[in-house]
Structures are given as C-alpha cells and as structure tokens.
Amino acid sequence: KCKICVAKTAGFCFGVDRAVKIVYNELDNRNNVVTLGPIIHNPNVVSDLEAKGVYSTDVDKVTKDQTVVIRSHGVGLDVYEKLAKVGAEVIDATCPFVARIHKIAAEKSGEGYVILIAGDEAHPEIMGIRGHCSGESYVFSSCDDFENLVKEKDFSSKKVAILAQTTYNKNMWRKCEELFERYLPEAVVYNTICSATSERQKEAAELAKAADIMIIVGGLHSSNTHKLKAICDEYCKCWLVEDAEGLRACDIDLSGAKFIGISAGASTPAYIIKEVQQTMSEMLNNVDEEFNFEEELEK
Ligand code: F3S
C-alpha cells in the first residue's frame, strides 16, 4: 500500500487564513463587502468571492454603504483616516504579527527614532508599516542596500530602530545584523520576520527526504510555490500542480511509489489541497488510510 502525507504547514499561513475567514464570516452577516486589494492571490478564492459579490477595491473608491475589509498585509494610518472620513464600516483583518510591527513603528518614531525597514519598498506591507511612522523611515532590500543607505544618510547623531518585513529572507537578515552592529551599534533591532514561510519550507524538505514523490499544490506563477518545489527537488521527484485537475493532467508516474508527500504554497486554500489528496488516492487506488507521518518518524 502507498502512504500519502499532507504537510501540516501546507497552504495558508495563520494570518491569511484568519483574513479569509473574516471575509466569509462577514458575508453571512451583510451585503456590500469589499476588500482593499485582493484578500489573497488565488484565482479560485477571488472568483468565488466575486460570485458572492465581494470585490477588491481602492481606498479612494470606497463608499459609505460598504463594509471594508483590511487584508492581512495591513495599511497605514492615512488609510484608516480616509475610511473614517467616508464613514464606511471597517473590519480589520491585519495579521496580528503585522499589527505588532505597526505598534513598534508608531511608538519608536513617536520617540524620535529613524525607522529602517528590511524589505521590498513597493510591497503593501512595507507601505502599511511606513504609514504608521510619524517621522523619517527608510527601506533597504539587501546588505548592500543597507550599506549604501547608511553611507548616504548620516544617522550618527540620530536614534535608529530597525525592523523587517514579515517575509524577509532570514539568511539575508542574519548577514545584515553584522552590518547593523558595525555601522549602527546603538540601533534598536527588532527581528520581526514571521516564521510561517520558513516552517512551511522546513516541513516540505522533511517530507521530501522521506518520500518517493512530492506534489506541491499552488499557482504556477507563485514564487513561494516554486521555491517549495525547488527545495523538494533536491530530495525526490517533485511535481507542481495547480489543483486536482492539474494532477490528473500531468504525466506523473505513480507506479512503485510507496510514500507520497503533499505540500502547498501560501495562497492555496485547504479545500484544493484536500481535492488533490483525494484525487491522488483515487489514482493510486491502494492507499494506506491509517498512516500517520509523525508516528512513523518516531519509530
Ligand atoms: Fe502570514 Fe501573518 Fe506571518 S500574514 S506570513 S502569519 S505575518
């Protein structure tokens, strides 16, 4: 019999899962729900929500009769102010980990600190964080970028606090920490990287080590999904599929497989992962339903 194991960290992280549930809950209570930008980059979820009348909109287009959901990335204070002015009802689905960064940014910049943030300047999360700073704030994307920034601006007479985008690369952060110490030894440093992504990658690698075949479920254009596949490719044969239909369509050879692992990118809903798992069981027609990977590892 073949064993199938779905990674516990497959799919949505805590913050995105929470935000998606908040939108669906609101739908049960009221009409005219909009989200500030797509709640998640998954076409299935977006079209399901659109079929239920939930659209993504821009803060400048919000009207008084709408209920506006703020997504997990969070937004700056200016957005809250605009929404309050319009008088629309606001449901805040900002991930609590991001909200914590907002709090630090607001407090520290209120105390006169310059805020430096490791991340992607154009990302909505970074724009949201900067929108909670009352003073100077700067973004750097890499160690080189940080060095250039401290050389260009003279922070020597200023108090500095350093933060990170939740999805910032951990290895890059570690390297940057040496530079923080060298150039700004007095700076207050907050490692605000969220571990959801690295935990998903770590578990996928563990599964891939034990499996004959790995299936990664996710958008064919999603970078975090491709990253998962690349990690698993190092240990076993790995396929990337968008959904159950994609699994049926791909020319995967399951003969002889004894252990198949499944993980999924950050934008893949649980029901799609479930469908892939069920389709896989049907294709194999010989699955050990009792199998538990953790118990197996302990043996
Ligand atoms: Fe997700 Fe929140 Fe972390 S949105 S990646 S759990 S910061």
> What ipTM describes this predicted complex?
0.99
| Residue whose CA is at the smallest distance from ligand 1 atom 5 | 196
Phi, psi (degrees; rounded to nearest 5) at 194: -90, 140
Which residues 6+ apart lie within 8 Å of 148 measured at CB?
A: 140
Q: Do domains 3-11+196-298 and 97-189 have the same CATH topology?
A: yes
Atom of ligand 1 nearest to the CA of 166: 7
- The C-alpha angle with vertex 247 and arms to 243 and 250, in degrees rounded to 5, equals 130
- Best mutation site among 20, 40, 95 for ligand 1 pocket (most ligand atoms within 8 Å of CB): 95
pLDDT tens, position by position, 18-57: 999 999 999 888 889 999 999 988 888 889 999 999 999 9
pLDDT score of 41: 83
Where exactly are the structural domains of the chain?
A: 3-11+196-298, 14-94, 97-189
| Residue whose CA is at the smallest distance from ligand 1 atom 6 | 15
29 is in an annotated binding site: no
For residue 209, what pLDDT band results from cuts at 50, 70 and 90? very high
CATH class of the domain comprising 3-11+196-298:
alpha beta
CATH of the domain spanning 97-189, picked from 3.40.1010.20, 3.40.50.2300, 3.40.50.1970, 3.30.2010.10: 3.40.1010.20
pLDDT score of 63: 96
Q: What is the per-residue DSSP string for the chain? A: -BEEEE-TT-S--HHHHHHHHHHHHHHHH-S-EEEES-SSS-HHHHHHHHHTT-EEE-GGG--TT-EEEE-TT---HHHHHHHHHHT-EEEE---HHHHHHHHHHHHHHHTTPEEEEES-TTSHHHHHHHTT-SS-EEEE-SHHHHHHHHHHS--TTS-EEEEE-TT--HHHHHHHHHHHHHH-TT-EE-----SHHHHHHHHHHHHHHH-SEEEEES-TT-HHHHHHHHHHHTTSEEEEESSHHHHHHS----TT--EEEEEE-TT--HHHHHHHHHHHHHHH--B-TT--HHHHHH-
pLDDT score of 30: 81
Atom of ligand 1 nearest to the CA of 197: 5
- The C-alpha angle with vertex 267 and arms to 13 and 289, in degrees rounded to 5, equals 75
| Residue whose CA is at the smallest distance from ligand 1 atom 2 | 15
Indicate whether 290 pLDDT > 70.
no
Do the beta carbons of residue 215 and residue 280 sit within 8 Å?
Answer: yes
Indicate whether 235 pLDDT > 70.
yes
pLDDT score of 297: 67
2 is in an annotated binding site: no
pLDDT score of 28: 85
pLDDT tens, position by position, 70-123: 999 999 999 999 999 999 999 999 999 999 999 999 999 999 999 999 999 999
Catalytic residues: 125
CATH topology of domain 14-94: Rossmann fold (3.40.50)
Residue % of the chain over a pLDDT of 90: 80
pLDDT score of 254: 84
